[in-house]
Amino acid sequence: MRSERFQPDLAPLRAFIAILGAPIFFGATIRGLGFLPAVALTTLLASLAASSRLSTILLITAGITVFCLLVFYYGLGLPIRLLGPWLGMLT
């Protein structure tokens, strides 16, 4: 089994980009964008790792974002702003 040429079974590239990109994106934007957009976009990015229909992805994202909002923001009261300063500049 070991004697054959080393050819590992790898996850598809899009999975790597989405799964590793999601936490990096979260880290880069959590302070600037705030909790709500950062979680939503991170989840969206993560769910792109597996191929499914756009409507499914949006539904998953919405559901998880609402859940995180209830559990972490309202439930555990994490000291993070809901909407960050970057968004303030737009309005």
Partner 1 sequence: MDMISNLGLGLDAALTPYNILFCFIGTLLGTLVGVLPGIGPTATIAMLLPITLSLSPETSLIMLAGIYYGAQYGGSTTAILINLPGESSSAVTALDGYQMARQGRAGTALATAALSSFLAGTIATLIVAMLAPPLTAVALRFGSAEYFSLMVLGLAASIVLASGEVIKTIAMVSLGLIFGLVGTDINTGEMRFTLGRPELADGLNFVAVAVGLFGIAEILRNLEHSVIRTAVVRHVSGLWPRREDLRAMLKPAVRGTFLGSALGVLPGGGAILASFASYALEKKLSPNSERFGQGAIEGVAGPEAANNAGAQTSFIPMLTLGVPANPVMALMIGAMIIQGIVPGPQVATEQPVLFWGLIASMWIGNLLLVVLNLPLIGLWVKLLTVPYGILFPAILAFASIGVFSVNSNAFDLYVMASFGIFGYILAKLHFEPAPMLLGFVLGPLLEEHLRRAMILSHGDMSVFVTRPISAALLITAALVLAVAFLPSIAKRRDEVFVEED
In the complex, the residues that contact partner 1 under the rule CB under 8 A are: 8-12, 15-16, 19-24, 26-28, 30-31, 39, 42-43, 46-47, 49-50, 52, 56, 60-61, 64-65, 67-68, 72, 76, 78-80
Distance, in Å, from the CA atom of 54 to the CA atom of 12, rounded to the nearest integer, reads 19
Nearer to partner 1, 13 or 91 (CB): 13
- Least Cβ distance, residue 91 to partner 1 (angstroms): 24
Contacts of 41 (CB under 8 A, 6+ apart): 25, 29, 33
**The residue type at 51:** S
